[in-house]
Structure 1
């Protein structure tokens, strides 16, 4: 059954976000502090699992999603080396960029996109958006109060303010925030990577927690970059899709 077409919200959520979060737990465990106690090849096993699942998945999705996943991997590689290696925003366990990370970005993008596009989810999108907005604000506030995560709170508020004027993209990016938060909590708990005590380790008046709550703001660059590359390389198809959306909007009003 297609995630997009299913009438069951539970099915759509489980087949997209549910499996994604389960993959976080299992995949990142292979590169965790638990595994390094019994093997020196922990990161290698995580890479093998990711590449295997990525190969299987990319053959199952349609052409458009294939291209977007590959773009997400490409931007993921560039972004990881820029933010982690060059700027030192965060540090991986072996002080490298694990191969599974850029491919993992593509999975996060795909799962969140499928969830946000599912008909059963879109039907209740206003309620879901309100719930996620309240949850995110409370989540960031708790990190601010208990963990002094000023950096994460500032990024969270910035995200919510930007999304006030983005009704079409709001569900996608709110879901992305939650997904990235889960990813970061699991990854830092496993000690696969860690964040410095201040923003970028260079701004002392922006103390940060490990992980900062609103770090999904930087993941949005990945999403925007992926979409931009697809638009630039498929201008005719993108224009056709925009025309179809406009016709549907006119009919619905």
Structure 2
């Protein structure tokens, strides 16, 4: 009687989303790789917009993403690794933040094209009507939304509770400035339509090529399970 070989357990993430702060060398469509560095699916990144839901094999605690890189000697497709992310656990409230290395001054020598960070999208961490600020610059920034204001240190994050101070058709004033050599420099001013059933994320990032600070406000309208694509940014 033949001995039954036990199946190898393949770990896989729950359905997650991703968002990109810029696209490195136009790399939009990434292959989701397994332990043999073969494609099992595709992730289409959106610049300042949430992707469709996706799952990924967990390879020794890591998620692996690549792009086609020719054919090997056996005729199988090869893939070049362009991003990886290691974490002990993954859950359905996870969103992966893809940062192109060209925007990250400290990562210019990175062997991968993207640096990945985690965004906790659980309602216990990020409620509807709240605003999350993500400072991806080496400067301290001052941020105000309506009556809420805070200072966010370099490479750090903060969250505002619900806004009370609006005008007109629920419009809230948004201002972002950064501190350089002790001087506050205005980087961004706008007005957004504020709604309590939307989550807002303010990305503050460096445009290294043009030596300036850029700001984008992104809305998340998704109250349903992850994988439902919300409307994009303002």
Name whichever structure is richer in strand by fraction. Answer: 2
Query: Higher helix fraction: Structure 1 or Structure 2?
Result: 1
Larger Rg: 2
Higher RCO (CA 8 Å, separation ≥ 6 residues): 1
